[in-house]
A and B are shown apart, each in its own frame.
Chain A
Amino acid sequence: MRYSEGTSSNWLMCVATSLLLAGCAQTIPEPIERHLDLVGDVPLNRATQTPADYALLEVGVEIFTAPQKESEDYEIGDWVFDEIIQKETQFLPHLLKNTLIDSNQWGAVRVIPESDPSLDLFIRGEIIQSNGKTLELQIQAFDSSGREWLNRVYADQSIQEEYPESTRFTLDDTFDAANFVEPFQDIYNRLANDLVEVRSNLGEQVLTELNLVTDMLYAKDLSPDTFAASLQETEDGLLRIDRLPSLDDPMIARVADMKYRHHLFIDTVDEYYQTLYDDIQPAYVLWRRYSIDQLTEEETSREEAGSSDYGNSSGFLSLSQRYDRFKWSKIFEREFTDLASGFNNELAPAFLELNSQVHGLTGTMEQQYREWRGILRRLFELENSDSATDSSN
């Protein structure tokens, strides 16, 4: 096929105009520089002595969420990075949990798949931004009575030096998990310190009542009809104890028994998340290292592009340089996407393992958790009906 000069260009113009008209609206993406309120260097507030019992609240850190992008914002390959963020929602809570335990300020701290009525304090997070350089989280914490403890954005930035050489682990230089310090540890320290500050402002009486509210809330979750009158909602939307059953009420003993079993279950779930994190930590840290390398390279490339005067020459050298810069930046991004894809592949068995851990239950960890709570409720009803039959006989 031979394109003569005049006809070929006209034909091209015609087709290109009709097909790629929307190309006129293509805009080069300007790097979005959002102002981040960074947490800075934050030492963790560790308790030298274990706090009083009433202050040892049981804490649940829910699996984080991530905002869903609009479908029109997607470019080819974006799903790979979405998948990584989805995985991060399952193991970043683990870092917060470890920090809270390390602070020695709290009772049991667990990572759980969803909101749990048996815990005193509940932490929910959304990953706004996560890569090797920046971590930005929207964190909300509230107690069992519904009181909001905090609701704010925490952001931190890392530098390349925070990723030691052992993060590029090879057969000779394996990842040293014991001595690795999380580059975004300041976020978790700040969050833990903020929670301690809120707790210290509440006082003994409020915290003691909070423990009772949690007990009754869990009892109500097991048997809504039986414990409906035990809690009352105040005008400001908080739950308060209205009527407490007698301490020697056998129902209370059964609730305590159920709560114990339930906590055994959520301890197990928490262990699975711990195992997941231990399994994937080396690959995850390596991934973040690649990510910060990529971002640093992008910045350098952007600076070079900004300082280049493309227009000074229309000669072949200038044209080929323009093409090469585009080509290499695209190849580099493609390689990074392949790495991201490789990271997802590497993590897949660990997530499969997490979801198949609980024998006899099926579905994802979240589904298994719901199933378990349903089983406990039915068990509680069954035990209550048995004891009612026994007493009538």
Chain B
Amino acid sequence: MTGNAGILRRLSRRASFFSAIATITCFALSVPAIGQDSLQQLDLDLPLRLDFSGSWEKDFRRSDNWEDELSRTLRIRQESAARQQSSPGSSRIRATPPISVGNINLPRTRRRGASIVDLARLAEYISRQNTIEIKQTRNEIIIERSGEAALVCGVEYDLQRTFANEHGVEVCGWDGQQLVFQIMLPDDLIIMHRFTVSSNQQVLNLLTSIYSKGGEPFNLIQAFTKYETPRDEFNCIQTLSRGQVCNQSGADLSGVLDN
């Protein structure tokens, strides 16, 4: 699916989703208070988000191969350059970065951005995980990838700054039902992760885009499918001096901590 038609289709699907939610909400509000005690109270100030939770494994068949994607990108650029050379009068459209990082006090220079080859290699470097674990509550979503720092975001409408230090700034937010993380690194290097889950919650798409100094991004798409993990037999709690303290699921841990 490419271009505006695809976007419109996605927007239309999103609108349908919201209208369904609105209908359900209106219906729920109009239903007489039967068995109110057993109903969990819904915080209407928090937006409803699609369920990303679960264990996901990479579907290599549906995921981009970074070298193929690089070749494709280079070919498109060459074709575009050739077209421009053949019509020198046409104005050149240049992509601008999604975010100016000129004011985030990161070390930067005025040199050219990184080459698309290096961006592609970086995209491959940061996308090597074959599995993803996602935990989601009514308030936040935690995305764990082996060898990587967890991505954590709230479900609120606002943009949230999730991490910031001298090595970079990470923000997250929601674009409709897509979860977006943006990492701004020194020297105008930007990494954007966009998570999308299918309506049946069986397929997770992760689009990673890497920008350098406002140049064209390199995009890499990975698809993940859900798999079932066996139920954890142990209920664990982290402690400072004893590490993880565990007992069998369902048992009360307070006694363990007392001892």
Contacts and interface: CB of A to CB of B under 8 A. Distances in A.
Contacts of B241: 169, 282-283, 286, 346
B140 interface: yes
Contacts of A10: 95
Contacts, number: 225
A1 B205 contact: yes
B240 A286 contact: yes
Interface in B85-144: 95-96, 98-100, 103-109, 111-115, 117-119, 121-122, 125-126, 140
A316 B238 contact: no
Contacts of B125: 316, 320, 323
Interface stretch (B34-42, B53-61, B169-177, B225-233): B169-177
B99 A24 contact: yes
Interface string A1-32: 11111111111110111111011111111100
Contacts of A348: 254, 257
Contacts of A86: none
A338 interface: yes
A28 B4 CA distance: 36
Please tell me the size bucket of the interface on B: 35 or more
A303 to B, nearest CB: 10
Interface stretch (B14-22, B23-31, B186-194): B186-194
Interface of B is mostly: mixed
Interface in B141-196: 148-150, 152-154, 159-171, 173-175, 180, 182-187, 189, 191-192
B259 to A, nearest CB: 10
A319 B209 CA distance: 14
B197 interface: no
A20 B98 contact: yes
Interface of A: 1-13, 15-20, 22-30, 75-77, 169, 282-283, 286-287, 290, 298, 301-302, 305-306, 308-312, 314-316, 319-320, 322-323, 325-327, 329-331, 333-334, 338-339, 341-343, 345-346, 348-349, 352
Nearest to B184: A26
Given A311-B109, A315-B114, A349-B254, A301 B167 contact: yes
18 contacts: A2-B1, A16-B98, A17-B99, A19-B173, A24-B103, A75-B160, A77-B152, A298-B165, A311-B109, A311-B111, A316-B118, A316-B125, A322-B168, A323-B189, A323-B191, A330-B163, A339-B240, A341-B238
